[in-house]
Amino acid sequence: MNANRIIGGNHGLPVEANGKTVKKLSKNTLVNARSCLYAIMAHLNNPPIWMPSYLCESLLHEDYNVKFYDVDRSLTIDESFLTEIKPSEAVLVIDYFGFTQDRKIYERIKEKKCFSIEDASQSLLSDRDTTPDFTIYSLTKCLGLPDGGMIEARNSSFDVEVLPSPNNFVESATNFRRKRAEFDRGENDDWYSFYMAHKKLAVPIGPYAMSDLSKNLYESYDQPEIISRTRENYAHLQKHLDPIKQLVEGIAPIGFPILHENRDTLLDLLIENNIYPPIHWRLRQVPKSFLDSHWFSERQITLPCDHRYNLEDMERIIKCVLHS
Ligand SMILES: Cc1ncc(COP(=O)(O)O)c(C=O)c1O
């Protein structure tokens, strides 16, 4: 194994194989998680939606009337907003980095006669019960699928009437994921330019179907292996570094999130060492008055620890972070 191989970045297209799927596809699959939220909001007639002040801002859509609620520096929800919400409004709850939120929040939202939407985009493979009205998933965050999102609804008759899958977008995503897979196998030395070309395309957000290609490839993954490898890597990092959240039973993390006072210097150092950690997330639209969220955003960095990597790779990451 190349001791300086690239760690992190997008996942490559999987090879077709019969995997072991613990998380089944639901009947409502769309092109991405944003489209899942959009379809739910359309179904609810676009009520005001409460979103956490710490979020992936790609979720903000011009059609939504967004109100923010606060989360603290440990990403725990400040429930004081529940005194302000009105019946029939929607509340989005995010499961950060694979960690589910305290399930009681869904009961409280229900007591207010509001609709709860759990955003499990970062926690596809974590255990959860089904108390929210809706749960949305992104299928491209911990897998190398070209596209995919899905909705689970408490009301089993909920159905999205879908539009055809956006072919150009899916083809371009397939192309860059294929190049990344070839790159990982040492068969080419450029996947990134294909990724950058893909990034120039407008992301489809609407009731667009998930592609058949991605539906078929979804079954290629050995999901128990993804969960156990990732947890093993996380547990190893945790012996040396301080994560935002300690690993607990039933959690399949998306990476190893830490806070660092000199985050941007650390980021540069990691990149110099061929380690590419995402920042979840840089806030630009959330009002500055949400001080804790902005504090968090300036320090956050997610160290890669997914199933593609082993303990040797984790050692490289640990060394870099401890030397920063
Ligand atoms: C918490 C969360 N929700 C939703 C999304 C959007 O997911 P998708 O790209 O599938 O629309 C992201 C993307 O980064 C995310 O982190």
Show Cβ contacts of residue 102 under 8 Å, excluding neighbours closer than 6 positions.
76, 77
Q: How far apart are the C-alpha atoms of 110 and 85, rounded to whole Å?
A: 11
**CB-count burial class (<10 Å; 0-12, 13-18, 19+) for 235:** middle
Asked if residue 192 and residue 113 are part of one domain, the reply reads no
Residue type, 255: G
Asked if residue 186 and residue 120 are part of one domain, the reply reads no
CB atoms within 10 A of CB 3: 8
Residue 76 in tokens: 């725990």
Show Cβ contacts of residue 222 under 8 Å, excluding neighbours closer than 6 positions.
19, 20
Shortest-distance atom of ligand 1 to CA 95: 1
- Work out the pLDDT band at 170, boundaries 50, 70, 90: very high
Residues facing 302 on adjacent strands:
257
Residue 206 in tokens: 């609407």
Instruction: Of 51, 37, 49, give the one whose Cα is nearest residue 160.
Output: 37
Asked if residue 175 and residue 122 are part of one domain, the reply reads no
Q: Which domain holds residue 190?
A: 167-203
Asked if residue 142 and residue 37 are part of one domain, the reply reads yes
Q: How far apart are the C-alpha atoms of 251 and 126, rounded to whole Å?
A: 5
Number of domains in the chain: 3
Task: Say whether 215 sits in a helix, a strand or coil.
Answer: helix
The rounded Å distance from CA 59 to ligand 1 centre is 7
Asked if residue 232 and residue 121 are part of one domain, the reply reads no
**Position 276 in a domain:** yes
- Work out the pLDDT band at 1, boundaries 50, 70, 90: low
214 lines ligand 1 (CB under 6 A): no
Which of 7-21, 158-172, 259-273 comes out lowest in average pLDDT?
A: 7-21
The rounded Å distance from CA 119 to ligand 1 centre is 8
Which stretch of DSSP H or E encloses residue 34? Answer: helix 33-43
With beta carbons less than 8 A apart as the criterion, state whether 281 and 297 touch. Answer: yes
With beta carbons less than 8 A apart as the criterion, state whether 307 and 84 touch. Answer: no
Judging by DSSP bridges, how do beta strands 149-153 and 66-69 pair with one another? unpaired
- The predicted-structure confidence for 2-21, as pLDDT tens digits, reads as follows 678 899 999 999 988 889 99
C-alpha 197 chain-centroid distance: 22
Q: Report the residue among 28, 92, 99, 121 best suited for mutation to probe ligand 1: largest number of ligand atoms under 8 A from its CB.
A: 121
Asked if residue 283 and residue 197 are part of one domain, the reply reads no
Asked if residue 126 and residue 39 are part of one domain, the reply reads yes
Q: What share of the chain is helix, strand, coil (3-state, %, to 5)?
A: 35, 15, 50
Residue with CA closest to ligand 1 atom 16:
56
140 lines ligand 1 (CB under 6 A): yes
Phi, psi of 66 (to 5 degrees): -95, 135
Q: Report the residue among 36, 56, 123 best suited for mutation to probe ligand 1: largest number of ligand atoms under 8 A from its CB.
A: 56
Residue with CA closest to ligand 1 atom 1:
121
**CB-count burial class (<10 Å; 0-12, 13-18, 19+) for 84:** exposed
Task: Say whether 97 sits in a helix, a strand or coil.
Answer: helix
Residue with CA closest to ligand 1 atom 13:
56
The rounded Å distance from CA 289 to ligand 1 centre is 24
Q: Looking at residues 27-53, what average pLDDT do you find?
A: 98
**Position 216 in a domain:** no
Asked if residue 86 and residue 142 are part of one domain, the reply reads yes
- The predicted-structure confidence for 111-136, as pLDDT tens digits, reads as follows 999 999 999 999 999 999 878 999 99
122 lines ligand 1 (CB under 6 A): yes
The rounded Å distance from CA 196 to ligand 1 centre is 18
94 lines ligand 1 (CB under 6 A): yes
Report the CATH number that the domain containing residue 281 is assigned in CATH: 3.90.1150.10
Q: Report the residue among 11, 32, 59, 95 best suited for mutation to probe ligand 1: largest number of ligand atoms under 8 A from its CB.
A: 59
The rounded Å distance from CA 121 to ligand 1 centre is 6
Asked if residue 229 and residue 191 are part of one domain, the reply reads no
The rounded Å distance from CA 98 to ligand 1 centre is 12
Residue 82 in tokens: 């529940």
The rounded Å distance from CA 1 to ligand 1 centre is 32
Asked if residue 134 and residue 231 are part of one domain, the reply reads no
Instruction: Of 251, 276, 15, give the one whose Cα is nearest residue 124.
Output: 251
Which stretch of DSSP H or E encloses residue 180? Answer: helix 167-184
**Position 132 in a domain:** yes
- The predicted-structure confidence for 178-231, as pLDDT tens digits, reads as follows 999 999 999 998 999 999 999 999 999 999 999 999 999 999 999 999 999 999
The rounded Å distance from CA 190 to ligand 1 centre is 26
59 lines ligand 1 (CB under 6 A): yes
The rounded Å distance from CA 283 to ligand 1 centre is 14
Asked if residue 171 and residue 148 are part of one domain, the reply reads no
Q: How high does pLDDT run on average in the chain?
A: 96
Residue 314 in tokens: 């984790």
pTM of the model: 0.97
Q: What angle do helix axes 167-184 and 192-199 make, rounded to 10 degrees? A: 160
Report the CATH number that the domain containing residue 97 is assigned in CATH: 3.40.640.10
The rounded Å distance from CA 142 to ligand 1 centre is 11
